[in-house]
Amino acid sequence: MTTFEYAPALESRSIVTIKPEYGHFINGAFVDGVDHFATINPANEEILSRIALGNAEDIDRAVDAARVAYEATWSKMPGKERGKYLYRIARIMQERAREFAVLESLDNGKPIRESRDIDIPLAGAHFFYHAGWADKLDYAGLGHAPRPHGVAGQIIPWNFPLLMLAWKIAPALAAGNTVVLKPAETTPLTALLFAQVCQQAELPAGVVNIVTGDGRTGSALVDHPGVDKIAFTGSTDVGKAIARAIAPTKKKATLELGGKGANIVFDDAPIDETVEGIVNGIFFNQGHVCCAGSRLLLQENIAEEVLAKLKVRMAKIRVGDPLDKNTDLGAINSAAQLGKIRELATSGDSEGAQRWSPACSLPKNGFWFAPTIFTGVTQAHRIAREEIFGPVLSVLTFRTPAEAIEKANNTPYGLSAGVWSEKGSRILWATQQLKAGVIWANTFNKFDPASPFGGYKESGWGREGGRHGLTAYLKSAEAQQ
Amino acid sequence: MNERLEVKKTYKLFIGGAFPRSESGRTYEAKGPDGAFIANSSLASRKDLRDAVVAARNAQIRWAGATAYNRGQILYRIAEMLEGRRAQFATEIAALDGISLQEAELEVHTAIDRWVWYAGWSDKLAAINGSTNPVAGPFYNFTIPEPMGVIGAIAPENQSLLGLVDAIAPIIVSGNTTVVLASTRAPLPAMTFAEVLATSDLPAGVCNILTGQKSELAPWFASHMDIDGLDISGVDESSRSDIKIAGVENLKRIHVFDGATTPQRIFAFMEAKTVWHPIGV
Amino acid sequence: MNYYGLVDGSDASLRNFLRTLSGVDQIGAESRAAMLATRSIKTTAKNWAIDLAISMVDLTTLEGADTPGKIRALAAKAVRPDPTDSTVPSVGAVCVYNDMVSIARQHLDLIGGAHVRVAAVSTAFPSGRASMAVKIQDTQDAIDAGAAEIDMVIDRGAFLSGRYLEVFNEIVQIRALCGKKTHLKVILETGELVTYDNVRKASFLAMLAGADFIKTSTGKVSPAATPPVVLVMLEAVRDFYEMTDRRIGVKPAGGIRNTKDAIKQLVLVNETAGPEWLNPGLFRIGASALLNDLLMQRMKMRDGYYPSPTYVTID
């Protein structure tokens, strides 16, 4: 060896046991499904297990179980006791963190470094944070003795399967709601492992129900008359369909939808950390991030320098086996998503933007896309307007701060934005002007249970995390039913 | 001896600080409870709505950029101006609603006090609904409530002044601008109220008031892509579902309020913005 | 005078240049270093890294209690770190006070260690608090005694009070003494500069003034060679190369006590400055206890079981 080639450093997958087939988790027990579909490892297309395809009857049973648990147990239990269940869950998730991490990387394709260091610890932290709210709801800002909505129907995406589960279930339970959750079609395994955690924590039957399936299963949940509150994270199109579906009803909804985050780099930015932030902004989790910094806005007088450094840095990104501890960029989650990324990247080519990727060899099997940037992008290009949800960065330039803001806000989305500058007043000015729910200044893609997250405009309704997120699962004592 | 002939007012619309007639040239009769003609009121068209939204959008950034102290003073000024025209409003309301002058006066007083109440909120919203968030890392993290942008409102049919005030005040106190459709049945106090706004230091375009048919205009409010949020408290329950569906196109935040005077009504048309910044040397 | 065409030796040009340097965000730099610290180096890569690290060690003793006997033992260890295994490479250099240079040089030559260089700390090490005449004499003594490398300290007081040109001129003068033959390492004492902005500034100042290496620390001040400090210095040498086409070396010193720490440093080099810096000509690790841990890890990799310190010589 003449150069420092890191030998493979594989995380052992022996820590997880995957059953050949899974049913739904309803009323505290696993029940067999009727039809099944396969969930695969996107890094090599290996079939991991066969998953029950939830139908209307399954949803019916789950909602009924949640209703009974709500009326009989959970809404009557003192907050202090509910909180103790959540603390138990948090602790068991910490105890079984490595198991969750390996399973998440197998089913999702994300690097073990990220599932181990980010997804799983944050998921546990969400339960720990919300556990503490359960007996303090009087201080949530809705007056004395606020009430839960009842049964929450929750539909989560495949990009952060366990973390999104935690974002949904933890506040719902803390507030006193019971839950029917549908994991994403391509990433159900950690939710099913979470069901086992609920059993270990001796959570009363029916408080958490997990019904696996696809879009039809989700629709059945949204349409079910026994559901009082919908929480959805996913695409803006599906979010809108849900909003239409519940318009005639009294159902409440929070929606965390798409984004096309601008990452604005001013000419006084701390350059090396900015380059790191750009990389983290778009290549974290293969770019499967609704709040990704997918539009890089560079001040024109430093654009060349930043791009040169960015390319050098991108050449260091290690693409490959998600279970290798040194992998930075894992597999694209599904063939369908890979197809969408390719289609949009091709549109970038045909609309005249310049594509660049570092030399990197991609594995033969599985779904892969090299880290890619497009330069010469204008606001009119599809790759500047549409969410690619992959490791593809569109680079634009600006001349003045006002132009940066104008371009950043020139999108129907409003989820996230980044600002890079060493000048405090400029950062505060920019954060004030940007129409986005989460703004990272001199950092990017940071998350915390205490920090509210959610978007303006077509990026959704409501917040998750912090006191703001909690209130989405509560109503004031006076509020009409 | 000849009695003096009263000089009657022409009721127009209030858009961008001016009082134009409807571009459609249409009017409709505002009548008392006995069906007697009181005045012609402008019958706003969808194009008037379009113009009003443009005016509201143009005014929004500056209004949001005004200091909270300044916005509070302007809202208080509205109360002052309203106070000075109590009698005029009471007469107008009594005639339209067929209620006693005392009852009408009570509504006017409540409306004035409502402005005083909302005026005081402008510089307290962030204290109530903002936070610094103790994240697990070396970051300063805070959440602030921000105005949403341009908010539409369909005012309720009853309480033609108070209902209107309850729609407008919580929207604009935070820095939103608004286009509000007044009570269809009793539109006149709304236009008299516009005269109050016009003399209250409220920047042009912050509040735009239309009179017209709810059934005609509400769907255009709902589908307008440059309206960020919509108060449909004044829309019939049977029509709300359609309005909500039309509003999905830009994921408009659509709310119905039950009349309670709470800061939640202000927060309903605000967005929480969370900012992260590293703490280092 | 012209220094790489970047500054002309005037106070104004130096100040202007340092002002153009980008700031360093502390949290960003630290999180990048922490992320690189999670790199898992196993099997063949680990074998390679351990031997490389051994060859990069500046085996150091800088004690008031140093004696000729101690120096000779150190020299022996430097040449053959593991007497039982001839495949273990020699270290890069031994690093001593200037009165010990001749003893070290003579003993190295005597035991077949002509290839191991002798480095002397200089310029009133570790504080740098002396007149320029003393610093020059200090350096001249070391060169006369056979030092191939001079590890000088900068005047941190001058730097922190903004007298950059003074710091610069001292380095320029020592550089002139060293000539082409003697390698000059400039110790920034990053623990006293405190901020990464200062580390970046001082790195450039030293490189412009003619340093062959920039070195983190004296080993007498804590914190010393933390991964983020080394990251910032590696970014500086990488950027300086972009500007001048000249590669300057980096030497972390102080606080690198075990193999894990050393391998983290190599990962930093690999992913920041690049593989071109992964040789003793451009990267050294100033250490004393580290060498034995590298040897023990090497035994573990070779034998497949954990060794005991009993089997590693303590010199």
Catalytic, C251? Answer: yes
What is the arithmetic mean of pLDDT over C131-146? Answer: 98
Which chains reach chain A with 3 or more Cβ–Cβ distances below 8 angstroms?
B, C
Give me the pLDDT at residue C314, please. 82
What is the arithmetic mean of pLDDT over C272-286? Answer: 97
CB count within 10 Å of CB C268 equals 26
pLDDT band for position A480 (50/70/90)?
Answer: low
Give me the pLDDT at residue A479, please. 79
Is A424 touching C (CB cutoff 8 A)?
Answer: no
Is B25 touching C (CB cutoff 8 A)?
Answer: no
CA C198 – CA C179 distance, rounded (Å) = 28
Q: Are strands A354-356 and A372-375 parallel, antiparallel or unpaired?
A: antiparallel
Chain C residue numbers touching A6 (CB-CB < 8 A): 39-42, 45
Sorted by sequence, the CB contacts under 8 Å of residue C184 that are 6+ apart come out as C149, C150, C152, C171, C174, C175, C178, C210, C211, C212, C213
Q: Which residue has the tokens 């006293």?
A: C192
Query: Which of A419, A457, A458, A478 would you mutate first to test chain B, the one with the most B CBs within 10 A?
Result: A457
**Å between C202 CA and nearest CA of chain B:** 16
**Chain B residues contacting A, CB < 8 Å?**
128-129, 131, 133-137, 139, 141, 143, 148, 228, 241-242, 244-245, 248-251, 253, 258, 260, 262, 264, 271-278
Confidence check: pLDDT of C315 > 90: no
pLDDT, tens digit (0-9, with 9 covering 90-100), for A166-220? 999 999 999 999 999 999 999 999 999 999 999 999 999 999 999 999 999 999 9
Is A410 touching B (CB cutoff 8 A)?
Answer: no
Q: What is the pTM of this model?
A: 0.97
Confidence check: pLDDT of A359 > 80: yes
Pick from C27, C194, C195: CB nearest B138: C27
CB A352 within 8 A of CB A308: no
- Hey, which bits of C195-272 come out as E strands? 213-215, 249-251
Give me the pLDDT at residue C31, please. 98
Which residue ranges of chain B lie beneath pLDDT 50?
Answer: none
Confidence check: pLDDT of C304 > 90: yes
pLDDT, tens digit (0-9, with 9 covering 90-100), for C178-217? 999 999 999 999 999 999 999 999 999 999 999 999 999 9
Chain C residue numbers touching A441 (CB-CB < 8 A): none
What is the arithmetic mean of pLDDT over A436-458? Answer: 98
pLDDT, tens digit (0-9, with 9 covering 90-100), for A234-273? 999 999 999 999 999 999 999 999 999 999 999 999 999 9
Using the beta-carbon criterion (under 8 Å), do B139 and C27 form an inter-chain contact?
yes
- Helix residue ranges, H only, A252-334: 271-283, 303-314
Give me the pLDDT at residue A196, please. 98
CA A331 – CA A366 distance, rounded (Å) = 7
Element housing B264 (H / E): helix B264-267
CA B235 – CA B152 distance, rounded (Å) = 12
Could you tell me which of C99, C281, C257, C252 has the C-alpha nearest to residue C187? C252
Give me the pLDDT at residue B1, please. 60
Q: Which residue has the tokens 């680990």?
A: C46
- Average pLDDT of chain C to the nearest whole number: 97
- Average pLDDT of chain A to the nearest whole number: 97
Confidence check: pLDDT of C133 > 90: yes
Give me the pLDDT at residue A351, please. 97
Confidence check: pLDDT of A76 > 70: yes
7-36 in C: which are within 8 Å (CB) of B?
A: 25-28, 30
Using the beta-carbon criterion (under 8 Å), do B134 and A450 form an inter-chain contact?
yes
CB count within 10 Å of CB B279 equals 11
Q: What is the ipTM of this complex?
A: 0.97
157-186 in A: which are within 8 Å (CB) of C?
A: none
Q: Which residue has the tokens 């010990």?
A: C100
Q: C126: cis peptide before it, omega within 30°?
A: yes
Query: Which of C24, C26, C160 would you mutate first to test chain B, the one with the most B CBs within 10 A?
Result: C26
Catalytic pick among A11, A114, A185, A256? A256
pLDDT, tens digit (0-9, with 9 covering 90-100), for B49-90? 999 999 999 999 999 999 999 999 999 999 999 999 999 999
What percent of chain B clears pLDDT 70, i.e. is strictly above it? Answer: 100
Q: Rounded to 5 degrees, what angle do the CA atoms B239, B244, B247 make?
A: 130
Catalytic, A198? Answer: no
Give me the pLDDT at residue A1, please. 63
Catalytic, C42? Answer: no
> What is the number of residues in chain B?
281
pLDDT, tens digit (0-9, with 9 covering 90-100), for A82-110? 999 999 999 999 999 999 999 999 999 99
Using the beta-carbon criterion (under 8 Å), do C194 and B280 form an inter-chain contact?
no
Confidence check: pLDDT of A48 > 80: yes
Which chains reach chain B with 3 or more Cβ–Cβ distances below 8 angstroms?
A, C
pLDDT, tens digit (0-9, with 9 covering 90-100), for C163-185? 999 999 999 999 999 999 999 99
CA A259 – CA C22 distance, rounded (Å) = 30
Give me the pLDDT at residue A38, please. 98
